[in-house]
Structure 1
Amino acid sequence: MSMTDLLSAEDIKKAIGAFAAAESFDHKKFFQMVGLKKKSADEVKKVFHILDKDKSGFIEEDELGFILKGFSSDARDLSPKETKTLLAAGDKDGDGKIGVEEFSTLVAES
């Protein structure tokens, strides 16, 4: 399954473009722009599994740095600061990674 099976390619392109500048990433605006906020809980979980590149059941800090590439291969990497900000927003239990439920909560809060 690819991201465009779940989200509009046009919405993804617009959202990636909106955050092309370094230090501009805002996960709340990004999730709204790609249409993730409007998706069902099951669809949000499918997006999580696409972003979980190593299939560990978690999105770890190193994977978070490449989260935009999970939506579009030509997207930029997040800066270390953006990655840490996103991890802090999503890691509710403080274990240093984001699980599927934490990801669903992160999207819902957007």
Structure 2
Amino acid sequence: MAMSSILNADDIKKALDAFAAAESFDHKKFFDMLGLKSKSSDDVKKVFTALDADNSGFIEEEELKFVLKSFSKNARDLTDKETKAFIKAADMDGDGKIGIEAFFRNVGPC
């Protein structure tokens, strides 16, 4: 599923451009720029499902490395430092992966 079918293409471009430089990624700001807080729970769930490339029900560290490419094939990979910071911030139970509940708490509607 293309992210542009869920999110505004201009918002995606602006968010990707804002974090194009290595070591600049901030997951909360990125997802805020995408407008996820104003999206329905169903739309946020669709984004989560798209990021969960292996359909495990979790977004693991290996999937997070390529999170920006889920929004555009030309986007950069996250650095190891950025990936680990994202996991640390969003992993609620310390299992090294992000479940749907943690995703909602970190990026979804209030």
- TM-score, normalised by the number of residues in structure 1: 0.94
Pairwise CA distance, 1:108: 3.9
2:20 is matched with: 20
User: One-letter code of the match for 2:75?
Assistant: A
Residues in 2 aligned to 1:42 and 1:105: alpha-carbon distance in whole angstroms:
14
Does residue 1:65 correspond to 2:65, yes or no? yes
Q: Secondary structure at the match of 1:98?
A: strand
Identity %: 65
1:99 is matched with: 99
Residues in 2 aligned to 1:83 and 1:97: alpha-carbon distance in whole angstroms:
11
User: One-letter code of the match for 1:55?
Assistant: N
Runs of 4+ in 1 over 4 A off after TM superposition: none
Residues in 2 aligned to 1:49 and 1:89: alpha-carbon distance in whole angstroms:
19
1:11 is matched with: 11
User: One-letter code of the match for 1:95?
Assistant: D
Aligned residues: 110
Deviations 1:54-75 (A, max 9, x none): 1111100010111111111111
Pairwise CA distance, 1:109: 8.5
User: One-letter code of the match for 2:74?
Assistant: D
1:51 is matched with: 51
Q: Secondary structure at the match of 1:7?
A: coil
Any stretches of 5+ residues in structure 2 without a counterpart?
Answer: none
- TM-score, normalised by the number of residues in structure 2: 0.94
1:78 is matched with: 78
Residues in 2 aligned to 1:46 and 1:102: alpha-carbon distance in whole angstroms:
15
Contact 1:28 1:109 in 2 (8 A): no
Pairwise CA distance, 1:7: 0.2
User: One-letter code of the match for 2:34?
Assistant: V
